[in-house]
Amino acid sequence: MNTCKILMPIGNLGIGLNRQEVEEAMKQKPDAIAVDAGSTDSGPAYLANGMNKYQKQMIRHDMEICIVAARKANIPFLMGSCGTCGVDGMVDLCYELALDILKEHNLQGKIARIYASQNAEVLKRKYREGKIHPLEGASEISEATFDQCSNIVALCGAEPFIEALKNGANIILCGRATDTAIMAALPIMQGCDVASAWHGAKVVECGNLCTDSRKGTGVFLTVDENGFAVTPTHAEAHCTPYTVSAHLLYENVNPFRLKEPSGLIVTDKCEYTQVDDRTVYVTGTRFEPAEQYTMKLEGACLCGYQSINLVGMADPKVMANPQKWIDNVKMLVDPLIEAAGYKKGSYTYEFKAYGYNAVIPGPVPEGTPVPREIGMLLTVTADTQDEATQISKIFNPYLLHCPVDMSAQLPSFAFPFSPVDCARGGTYEFMFHHVVDVDSPLELVRIDYTDYKSDNSTGGC
Amino acid sequence: MKVKEIAKYVRSKNAGPFWITIDIFCRSQEDFQLLRQSPNLTADKVAKMYGVKPGSVQVFYADRINVIKYSFPRPHPQGSRYENDMHGGQQYVLLAEQEV
């Protein structure tokens, strides 16, 4: 029977792998190491700027542990969503790191770079042809949306990874991919049950989150022709039917129907069996192949610049009703911004009363105790940094002195900085919650190969 | 009683940049049924609680593990200028404080 064992060493590459844990795990003889290195979860700035969230040397540190282990065992290393956002530049960054690692350790490898950045003109044509479709909850888009985005990526499925594996690559560095595709690719290629490969990949995509312990970061996914098993790498961590099935809830809209480029994973009739005290075996997953292969799009654009101002307040009169203070400031400052020549609509501003209702917006329930102090954050957003800063300066004296009771003496609130206004830089937005129809899984993807020989052998890279 | 007094724990998180999802983990089938049948925890009530469009909240009952899940589109996409919780990780509190 075909079986395929994947080592998923950590939920996100770049946060700090334990070398010893991976070396121990390698004794279990996995068929591949697969790891996710990206997410949209930290917001649109990373994609808009094409930048990595985790520190470059930490990315190298984690890649080094994986690449050295994989090359020594002669198994593939698959890394998806390079550099958080998965743009081409981040694939190139990880490629440079991989070359450097191979060179340092005097190793050889065939590196595949899978590029998933998208050309706006190509997508605009797809859009005109009616081949771009909104997902539930999407914002309205037009052709202009494609030009507004500084970066657009399409999420790769398992097929580009399989293509690279078939071409002999053993270090696969992919741009943006679905988290699952990275782990599902090799089991699918080796003839394991497709539904179980996808479902198992979904369970292990966040590493130890599907276990009962934060000891160790990794898990093994073993897929066969009937189902899949999940086991933590750390001897003191356990998977149970509860931890494994509960993980499908995490960051998913619907835990029973999970969409992938090539179809739908259906998990509502699965059986979860404890096979030893640390391993769960799952059967009964179904996979409904899609009639049309689609890739999810992600795009982000710059949509203004921000200036932020933090004011500390411990005055009980303000604490009793921070909204009244905010309303007073608005009433006094709005006409001044207009008098200074700034047109409404060219800027926005927003107060957030931390310690009161900044995190959970809206009225505070009756009976909520008056806080001892709050941090009032004013954020001004405008088309340029200078405009945002200038508008903050108009607010400045009122942030410092505005009373709640207009007949009272002027208070002075607690500024933590001089100047109190801080140029925060750009603010960004995600623009797409859409999928694009493709003629083949590789239509919008480009794969480049490099056969790297170590310095001791003939040839270069 | 409030949701937080019955549930084992309640959590929230983004489900992609355009959705929020909230999970209520119950200790027992009885607690799960109690919350499931509460008139204050219907999809419409949750929509109102979070100020999102009526009909936009989807509810899932994972009865084998006694979890109730609510998913709904974010009022603003993640990270927009109006963002108050980038990862959506604190939004569960409103639901946890709800009277059953």
The answer to whether B18 contacts A430, with C-beta atoms less than 8 Å apart, is yes
**How close B84 gets to chain A, by Cα (Å)?**
6
Please report the pLDDT score of residue A320 as a whole number: 87
Please report the pLDDT score of residue A231 as a whole number: 97
Q: Tens of pLDDT along A426-454?
A: 999 999 999 999 999 999 999 999 999 87
Please report the pLDDT score of residue A25 as a whole number: 97
Pick the residue of B63, B81, B93, B99 with the most A CBs within 10 A to test the interface with A by mutation.
B81
Residue A218 dihedral angles phi and psi, to the nearest 5°: -105, 165
Closest CA to B60 of B19, B18, B17: B19
- In this complex, which of B64, B79, B82 lies closest to A428 when CB atoms are compared? B79
Q: Can you spell out the DSSP letters for A356-399? A: TTSSS-SPPPTTPPPPS-EEEEEEEEESSHHHHHHHHHHHHHHH
Average pLDDT (A224-236) is 97
A460 pLDDT exceeds 70? no
> Does A84 reach chain B within 8 Å, measured CB to CB?
no
Q: Tens of pLDDT along A168-214?
A: 999 999 999 999 999 999 999 999 999 999 999 999 999 999 999 88
Q: Tens of pLDDT along A240-296?
A: 999 999 999 998 999 999 999 999 999 999 999 999 999 999 999 999 999 999 999
Q: Which residue of B has its CA nearest to A358?
A: B84
What is the overall mean pLDDT for chain A?
95
- Contact between residue A50 and residue A8 where contact means Cβ atoms under 8 Å apart: no
> Which residues 20-49 of B are in CB contact (within 8 Å) with A?
21, 23, 25
**How close A243 gets to chain B, by Cα (Å)?**
9
A458 pLDDT exceeds 60? no
Average pLDDT (A147-164) is 98
Q: Locate tokens 């790191």: which residue?
A: A97
Residue A246 dihedral angles phi and psi, to the nearest 5°: -65, -25
Pick the residue of A209, A239, A252, A258 with the most B CBs within 10 A to test the interface with B by mutation.
A252
**How close B97 gets to chain A, by Cα (Å)?**
10
The answer to whether A245 contacts B64, with C-beta atoms less than 8 Å apart, is yes
The answer to whether B67 contacts A246, with C-beta atoms less than 8 Å apart, is yes
Average pLDDT (B85-96) is 96
What share of chain A in percent tops pLDDT 70? 98
Q: Tens of pLDDT along A98-131?
A: 999 999 999 999 999 999 999 999 999 999 999 9
Please report the pLDDT score of residue A408 as a whole number: 78
CB pairs under 8 A between A and B: 102
For chain B, what is the domain count? 1
Average pLDDT (A223-239) is 97
Q: Tens of pLDDT along A282-332?
A: 999 999 999 999 999 999 999 999 999 999 999 988 888 899 999 999 999
Average pLDDT (A22-26) is 97
- Contact between residue A82 and residue A94 where contact means Cβ atoms under 8 Å apart: yes
The answer to whether B58 contacts A254, with C-beta atoms less than 8 Å apart, is yes
- Contact between residue A184 and residue A100 where contact means Cβ atoms under 8 Å apart: no
Q: How far apart are CA A143 and CA A294, in angstroms?
A: 19
- In this complex, which of A306, A348, A430 lies closest to B78 when CB atoms are compared? A430
DSSP E strands, A142-293:
151-154, 171-174, 219-223, 227-232, 257-260, 263-266, 271-276, 279-283, 286-289
Please report the pLDDT score of residue A349 as a whole number: 97
A456 pLDDT exceeds 80? no
**How close A364 gets to chain B, by Cα (Å)?**
10
- Contact between residue A87 and residue A175 where contact means Cβ atoms under 8 Å apart: yes
Helix (H), strand (E) at residue A112:
strand A109-115
A38 pLDDT exceeds 70? yes
- Contact between residue A174 and residue A114 where contact means Cβ atoms under 8 Å apart: yes
Radius of gyration of chain B (CA): 13
Residues of A in contact with B64 (CB under 8 A): 245
Task: Band the pLDDT of A455: cuts 50, 70, 90.
Answer: low
> Does A222 reach chain B within 8 Å, measured CB to CB?
no
ipTM (interface predicted TM): 0.91
**How close A38 gets to chain B, by Cα (Å)?**
12
Domain carrying residue B78? 3-96
Which amino acid makes up residue A317?
K
The answer to whether A362 contacts B21, with C-beta atoms less than 8 Å apart, is no
Q: Which residue of A has its CA nearest to B24?
A: A249
State the pTM of this model.
0.94
> Does A45 reach chain B within 8 Å, measured CB to CB?
yes
- Contact between residue B81 and residue B38 where contact means Cβ atoms under 8 Å apart: no
> Does A362 reach chain B within 8 Å, measured CB to CB?
yes
Average pLDDT (A414-436) is 97
Work out the number of other CB atoms within 10 angstroms of the CB of residue A221: 30
- Contact between residue B98 and residue B22 where contact means Cβ atoms under 8 Å apart: no
**How close B38 gets to chain A, by Cα (Å)?**
21
Work out the number of other CB atoms within 10 angstroms of the CB of residue A417: 9
Please report the pLDDT score of residue A238 as a whole number: 96
Measured between its terminal Cα atoms, the distance across chain A in Å is 38
**How close B75 gets to chain A, by Cα (Å)?**
10
Pick the residue of B2, B65, B87 with the most A CBs within 10 A to test the interface with A by mutation.
B65
